[in-house]
Amino acid sequence: MCGGRVAVVGGSVAGCAAALALHRGGTDEVVVLERAPGRPAERGVGLAVHDDRYDELESAGYLDARMPWIQLERRRWYVRDTRGPAVGRRIGEMPFPFRTYNWGPLWHELRARVPDAVEFRTGTTVGALQHGPDAVELHTTDREGRRRREPFDLAVGADGYRSLIRTEVCSEVCAEPVAALRPEFAGYLAWRGAFPASRMTASDQRLWDVEECAYVVFPGGHVIIYRIPDSAGGHRVNWVLYTAPPPDLDLSLETPVSLPPGTLTDALHTHLARIAAELLPPYWGALVALTEPGELFVQPLYDFTAPRYATGRLLLTGDAATVARPHTGAGAVKALQDATALESALRSASDWAEALHTYDSERIAVGRATVELGRRPGHALVETTPERGSMNPSALDVWWQRAAVGGGLGGRALHA
């Protein structure tokens, strides 16, 4: 055990889990520094966790059955068929053992499990840092504009896909200019939306089981649709549509960005409306169209994994360490797995150098594998979509096994 005083930069999923890991791993003092004042602005959309990954994370103590979820059993694939039913022609069905979560309630449950002994400082931005072989100093600004410089034994970067801590790690360990180590735009966007399931009519609800995840494919993309819990015991319809941006998009995508609800341009709204009306089967197009503008946002997708997960007295976790395309449903899972790896590295090490070395060597390979797991289905499902109008279930199975993820859906096993 290393003891010491540790800062966690970022208090989202990875930050809460890292704070828990540090506390359990014997750290004397843990301080979480989160830029958002109060609670983070929830977007109300969902994420999915494979049953096997859930079992591992439950055993490790990072997920539990009190966190509200919905159980999915199967995935049905649909394609538009102008002479067929409104849901489209079903071209295949596969098992889909996933639990779905609503990001907001999941974050609240994780936050509630961060012990009171951890200081959780919201409205605090880390603007700069200095670090040496034995210590790190963080420069912070609080919501009143007061500036501080604070020493720590270790800074954990849980500061997401535009991580400041990652930039320091990269400049420390890489000969290349840091600009060359930025996340790379994957070439397409994810439109995301969620709305109360009560907005669907009763007959619409009957056409689509709660246990079913729909994969609706079209030339140049697809949309995944499943239900997630809301915070009041009901359900929300959650969807993610992947396709290339409209050609006239006036937006630089070189540096990672995200377009929160209410900020989408007319060009993005029009592009989505055209896909929903012309490329999706009418039932699913109408479902997507039930989403109101304030429930809709866009995430450009990026590929990146840091060359090191730890160096000196800096350590990376979650999206700060690896940004991968979300096709495999493994982003939040990887953030939680990073925390379990950190906890066990801390428990077994006798000093910081040993703990960071153990964590770094275990997680670098996982980061690389996660990016690769995201690229393969992205290629098959968005970048080079085959003609699927005539596919039957066995042809779909062969295509999916060969072209996409094989065994990687839901992320890697914790100790693969």
Which of 2, 14, 217, 301: binder of ligand FAD (CB under 6 A)? 14
For residue 384, give the amino acid letter.
T
Residue 306 binds ligand FAD (CB under 6 A): no
**Nearest residue to ligand FAD, using CB?**
318
| Cβ distance to ligand FAD smaller for residue 125 or 385 | 125
Q: 4 vs 331, which CB is nearer to ligand FAD? A: 331
- Coil, strand or helix: which one is 237? strand
**Alpha helices by DSSP H, 113-228:** 164-173, 202-206
Site string for ligand FAD, 162-181 (x = CB under 6 A): --x-----------------
Site membership for ligand FAD, residue 319 (CB under 6 A): yes
Residues 263 and 227: beta-carbon distance below 8 Å: no
Considering the rule CB under 6 A, would residue 335 count as an interface residue with ligand FAD? yes
Q: What angle do CA 193, 122, 103 make, to 5 degrees?
A: 25
Is 47 an interacting residue with respect to ligand FAD (CB under 6 A)?
yes
Alpha-carbon distance of 297 to 285, in angstroms, equals 17
Dist CA 99 CA 95 (whole Å): 13
Q: What is the dihedral of CA 90, 96, 98, 102, to 10 degrees?
A: -10
Residue 36, interface with ligand FAD (CB under 6 A)? yes
Identify residues 86-125 at the interface with ligand FAD (CB under 6 A): 103, 125
8-state DSSP, 65: T
- Does residue 68 interact with ligand FAD by CB under 6 A? no
Q: In a 3-state reduction of DSSP, which class is residue 363?
A: helix
Q: Of 50, 53, 114, 159, which one interacts with ligand FAD (CB under 6 A)?
A: 159
Residue 384 DSSP SS3: coil
Residue 197 tokens, joined: 């399931």
Interaction between residue 281 and ligand FAD (CB under 6 A): no
Work out whether 45 is an interface residue with ligand FAD (CB under 6 A). yes
User: Near ligand FAD by CB under 6 A, which window of 13-21, 204-212, 288-296, 364-372?
Assistant: 13-21
Number of chain positions touching ligand FAD (CB under 6 A): 32
CB of residue 114 vs ligand FAD: minimum separation in angstroms?
Answer: 13
